[in-house]
Structure 1
Amino acid sequence: MKAIKIVKEGRVEIADIPQPTIKDGHVLLKIDYVGFCGSDLNTFRGLNPLVQLPVIPGHEIGATVVELGTNVGPDIKIGNRVTVNPYSNCGICTACKNNRPNACRYNETMGVQRDGAMTEYLVVPIQRVIMGGQLSSKELALVEPMSVGFHAVDRANVTDSDIVLVLGCGMIGVGAIVRSALRGAIVIAVDVSKEKLELAKSLGATFTINSAEEDLAASLDILTHAMGADVVIEAVGRKETYLAAVDAAAYTGRVIYIGYAKEAIPFDTQFFVKKELDIRGSRNATAKDFAAVMHYLKMKKCPMEQLITGVYRVEDAQLALESWLSDPGRVFRLLIEF
């Protein structure tokens, strides 16, 4: 069967690998769509320290069940559309014992620490399969990245009395905007792309700030009467946004970091103390977050055509990543169709 492999920096190859065989407690999936995410782009750029090349990327999955192993239970049927929880967990580390398996110390995410889903077929343990209901395979391929943003909002305990500043309006930032708006918060979206900010507004952002054209601190002061944001969600992973998050947070505010910064960052830590900030990381997503995203998508209020920037054939995976790299501000999600 065909598989997409990132074999070295800047190079994708289409490999022919054996089709996996069904196992006890597993199901065989025919992959329909898989999304390229920011971690895949960083792998392609040679900037993902968690990846050892070559690797099969992909963990944003829309698929169809084509074969059932033994002991999978009666609820899943051949022909069901599904997505997949792409994370692993050990069950014995402190995160797992604290019922937060999304942050497992030994997690191996598909397409990052282990081979991913950009193959024609995939065998998956039944525990990782999430039934798609009436959602299409394209919609299901958007569930995982949006769930990461949903999880950050949960980590921040966002309520309808909060002002939430979201730094970065890619797919994960979009997830944070949507869920914050669903909870009734005032949402301020920040990005350097006019197109992304327009979409953020349509998805529930009350205000937008183009940080390439406006002074972020001055604009935020106007919108918050110089009080700052109750919650700041960083969904970029750059030094500038990591530092801006602390500056933008209100006294006793909550700062949530999703993005992985690629360098050491020198903080002026006095503001951690003076503002008595709650600073939290947000990693991956939980089953509850997946369910919340799927409930939102079932409402059919999500502008799918705007979130999916392009759909590419397997043979054009190299072109897909090159096009994203050449104009990152334009791209929300690129899907590979199998």
Structure 2
Amino acid sequence: MQSLVIDQIGHTEFRDIEAPVPGPGEVLLDVHNVGLCGSDLNTFNGLNPLVELPRIPGHEIGGVIAAVGPDVPAEFTIGQSAIVIPYTTCGTCPSCRQGRVNACQFNKTLGVQQDGGLCRQIVLKTDQLILNNTLPPTHMALVEPLSVGFHAVSRGRVGATDTVLVLGGGMIGVGAILGALAQGAKVIVSEVSHLKADTLATLGVDAVINPTRTDLTSEIDRLTNGAGADVIIEAVGLPATFRVAIDLAPFSGRVVYVGYAKAEVSYDTKFFNLKELDIMGSRNATRTDFEAVIAYLAQHTPIGERLISKTFTWADADQALRYWTDHRDEIFKIMIDMRVTA
């Protein structure tokens, strides 16, 4: 069976691997669409400390059930379309015992700590699948990244009376934007890429600010009449934006970090106390977040189409990560269509 492997930094190749067979409680999924994630790009560029090479990337997956193993619930039938929840849970760590399984201490995400979905077929446990026959096939692979942003909104306790500032307009930031809008909040976006700004502006946000061209603090003050944004969601993952989130947060504000910096971050911690900030991390997403995104995309199909920047066929999939590296400022989502071979 053919797979695509990141075998060394800056290089991918097709490799034949053994075809998987489902065991008890497992299904065999024909992979139809895979979205490439920032973690895949970081792996390709040697910037993902969680990955050991070689690795089959890809955890944003939609497909169709091809076979089922023993003891599988009756609703999991051959031919059913399904969306993949790419995380694992141990059931015993502190997070799992609290029901926060998305933050499992021993999670092994597909394409990161274990091989992912850029292969013809993959075996999964039934609790890693959400059956769905309504979304377009390509949109199934949009659900996971948008769910991560929806989860950040949940962590920030965003409500209809809030103003939310999202730092970063990539796919995770877009998920946070859409999740906040779904709660009725006012949303402001900070994004340095002018190539993404037009699309971001069509999502229903109040403003898109380029902080390299406009003073972000002054513009936030103007847009909020000096009150500031109630919730700051950091979706960039740079030390500078980690600090900016604290600087821009108002007194009694909420800060959610969904990006993570690859270098140490230094703070003037007096603002933690003086402002009495709620500072939260956000990791992965829950099944509830997935279901919320599925419902959102079902009602807003054109948005899903606008977020797919480029589609590669399976035959050309080995070119996709290099293309993204060379066109990073204009890409929301690169999709691999496994159904198209040439």
TM-score, scaled to structure 1? 0.98
Query: Whole-Å Cα distance in 1 between the matches of residues 57 and 132 of structure 2?
Result: 22
**In the alignment, which residue of structure 2 is the partner of 1:203?**
203
Q: 1:117-136 to 2 correspondence within 5 Å?
A: 117-136=117-136
Give the Cα separation in 1 of the matches to 2:136 and 2:65.
Answer: 13
Name the structure 1 match of 2:157: 157
| Paired AA for residue 116 in structure 1 | G
Task: Please tell me the root mean square deviation across aligned C-alpha atoms, in Å.
Answer: 1.1
CA contact (8 A) 2:297 2:304 kept: no
Number of the residue aligned with 1:84:
84
Residue identity matched to 2:223:
L
Q: 2:148 is matched with which residue?
A: 148
Tell me how far 1:128 sits from its aligned partner.
0.8
Q: Name the CA distance, whole Å, in 1 between partners of 2:192 and 2:182.
A: 24
Contact 2:14 2:318 in 1 (8 A): no
| Equivalent position SS for 2:62 | strand
1:239 aligns with 2:239: yes
- 1:230, 1:250 within 8 Å by CA — same for their partners in 2? yes
Q: Where does 1:189-200 land on structure 2 (aligned, <5 Å)?
A: 189-200=189-200
Moved over 4 A (4+): none
Shift of 1:69: 1.2
Unpaired runs of 5+ residues, structure 2, are none
| Counterpart residue number, 1:287 | 287
Q: Any idea what SS the aligned residue of 2:230 has?
A: strand
Q: Which amino acid aligns with 2:203?
A: L
Q: Structure 2 matches for 1:90-101, cutoff 5 A?
A: 90-101=90-101
Equivalent in the alignment of 2:115: 115
Q: Deviations over 1:183-237 (max 9, x none)?
A: 1111001101223222222212111111121111111111122222100000010
Q: CA deviation at 1:88?
A: 0.6
Post-superposition offset of 1:301: 4.2
Contact 1:189 1:197 in 2 (8 A): no
Q: Shift in Å at residue 125 of structure 1? A: 0.6
Alignment partner, residue 319 of structure 1: 319
Residue matched to 1:58: 58
Code of the aligned partner of 1:64 = V
SS of 1:6's equivalent in the other structure is strand
Task: Give the 5 Å matches for 1:210-289.
Answer: 210-289=210-289
Aligned to 2:299: 299
Pick closer, same or farther for the CA change 1:331–1:319 going to 2, 3 Å.
Answer: same
Q: TM-score, normalised by structure 2?
A: 0.97
Deviation at 1:45, TM superposition (A): 0.5
> What amino acid does structure 2 have at the position aligned with 1:261?
A
Q: Does the 8 Å CA contact 1:144/1:290 hold for their aligned counterparts?
A: yes
